[in-house]
């Protein structure tokens, strides 16, 4: 039970106890996400927490929601008499990236070109969906900035590597705009 703070009442007798846990909005609105990686091959837009520095992770709240998205896939149509089965594939020439959860670094991934008689060039896709959030490294515990990350995630089977991958498209090829809000407590 708090023994300190400021009580603010309304006429109905309801009150709030103002304490350091109150959220302060540092930044909000929408962001147009960049179409290219940062210089260190990470991705996203930094929102400064200034004038605060070295803010502990547990004092920061971030909301990011994709509001304008694009997706990139191609299709193979394998007619069967009068019907039309389709298969979805990653599209060659599209800039897809994998993302290291450890470092945040994005690495280019190239889709196969669906070459006849070359199964390794047919990278099937089973799903895609937008992702967005606060991107930080596990080892980082205090912050001067908040990195907003967003991308369209495509789940593909990289046939030549025999593995499932989550590959991302960015900016006007992926998540183009996000709504966001960054807030702090204890500040």
By CB under 8 A, what part of segment 106-135 binds other proteins?
113-117, 125, 127-130
Nearer to other proteins, 40 or 129 (CB): 129
Give the per-residue contact string, 11-40, with other proteins (x = CB under 8 A; - = no).
Answer: -------xxxxxxxxxxxxx----------
- Extract the tokens encoding 89: 């594939």
Q: Total residues at the site for other proteins (CB under 8 A)?
A: 62
- Which of 38, 73, 145, 157 is in the footprint of other proteins by CB under 8 A? 73
Nearer to other proteins, 91 or 168 (CB): 91
Closest to 51 (Cα-Cα) out of 21, 27, 20:
27
CB of 126 to other proteins, least distance (A): 8
- Which of 41, 46, 48, 68 is in the footprint of other proteins by CB under 8 A? 68
Q: CA-to-CA distance for 2 and 39, rounded, in angstroms? A: 47
Q: Interface with other proteins includes 9 (CB under 8 A)?
A: no
The CB-side HSE value for 105 (13 A sphere, CA atoms) comes to 7
Contact range with other proteins by CB under 8 A, out of 33-41, 67-75, 134-142, 158-166: 67-75
CB of 34 to other proteins, least distance (A): 18
Cβ atoms of 46 and 39 closer than 8 Å? no
Q: How many Å is the Cα radius of gyration of the chain?
A: 22
Cβ atoms of 36 and 162 closer than 8 Å? no
Number of H helices, E strands in the chain: 0, 15
Cβ atoms of 130 and 51 closer than 8 Å? no
- Tokens 């193979």: give the residue: 76
- Which of 38, 41, 74, 98 is in the footprint of other proteins by CB under 8 A? 74
DSSP-derived pairing of the beta strands 163-169 and 145-158: antiparallel
Residues that bind other proteins (CB under 8 A): 2, 4-6, 18-30, 51, 63, 65-88, 91, 113-117, 125, 127-130, 176-177, 179, 181, 183, 185-187
């Amino acid at each position: 039970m708090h023994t300190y703070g400021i009580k603010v009442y309304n006429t109905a007798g309801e009150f709030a106890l103002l304490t350091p846990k109150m959220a302060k909005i540092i930044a909000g609105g929408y962001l147009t996400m960049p179409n290219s990686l940062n210089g260190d091959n990470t991705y996203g837009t930094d929102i400064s927490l200034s004038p605060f520095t070295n803010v502990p992770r547990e004092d920061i709240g971030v909301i990011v929601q994709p509001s304008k998205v694009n997706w990139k896939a191609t299709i193979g149509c394998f007619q069967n008499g009068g019907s039309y089965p389709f298969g979805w594939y990653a599209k060659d020439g599209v800039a897809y990236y994998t993302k290291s959860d450890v470092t945040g670094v994005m690495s280019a991934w190239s889709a196969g070109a669906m070459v006849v008689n070359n199964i390794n060039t047919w990278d099937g896709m089973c799903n895609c969906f937008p992702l967005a959030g606060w991107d930080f490294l596990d080892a980082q515990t205090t912050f001067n900035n908040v990195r907003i990350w967003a991308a369209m995630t495509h789940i593909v089977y990289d046939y030549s590597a025999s593995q499932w991958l989550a590959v991302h498209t960015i900016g006007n090829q992926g998540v183009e705009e996000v709504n966001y809000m960054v807030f702090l407590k204890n500040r």
